[in-house]
Amino acid sequence: MVNEHASQEASDIRAATLRLARRIRQQRSIATMSDGQFAVLVNVYLHGPHTLSALAERDGVTAPSMNRTVNCLEELGYVTRASDDEDRRKVRIAITEQGSAVVDDTVQRRDGWLQGVLDTLEPDDRATLHAAAQIILREVHR
C-alpha cells in the first residue's frame, strides 16, 4: 500500500509543476502559436535543420501531423524547406530569422515573467526553489 503522505506529496509536486509550466507557456511572443508549433521552432533553433521525419520522431508525432505543423510555420514565414545538399530526395526544415526572433522573444518573455515572480520571494524561498530545480533536472536527466 502506498504511503498516503508520500502520495499527497507527489500529487502536490505534480500539480505545482504543471501549473507553473502552464503559466510559463502562456508567456509567448505569438499568442496564436500552439505549444506544438513553438516546440518545433525551438528544436530547429537549437539543433539546426531537420528532415520532416526527424522532427516527427523528436516530437513523438506522426509524419503527417508534423507536416501540418511545418506547413503552418512555413506559411507564417518561420521556417523554410530546402533540398538536402547530400541527398536531393530529402528536404530539410530550417528556421528563418523571423522564426529565430519568435523563439528569442518568447524565451525573454518567459524568463522575465519568472524573474518577476522570483523577485517577490524571500531569499530562503528563492534558494529552496533553485535547489528544487537542480534536483528536478538531475532526476529527469537520469
Give all strands (DSSP E) within 10-74, no chain letters: 50-51
How do residues 23-60 score in pLDDT, each as one tens digit?
999 999 998 899 999 999 999 999 999 999 999 999 99
Listed as ranges, residues in the chain with pLDDT below 70 are 1-2, 5-6
The three three-digit cell numbers of residue 36, written as one number: 506544438
pLDDT at 2: 57
Q: Please tell me the pTM assigned to this model.
A: 0.83
Dist. CA 119–CA 74, nearest whole Å: 38
pLDDT at 1: 52
Q: Are 47 and 105 in contact (CB under 8 A)?
A: no
Closest to 71 (Cα-Cα) out of 62, 58, 81, 61: 81
pLDDT at 109: 96
pLDDT at 86: 78
Closest to 81 (Cα-Cα) out of 108, 50, 120, 119: 50
pLDDT at 139: 93
Domains, the chain, ranges and CATH?
A: 4-140 (1.10.10.10)
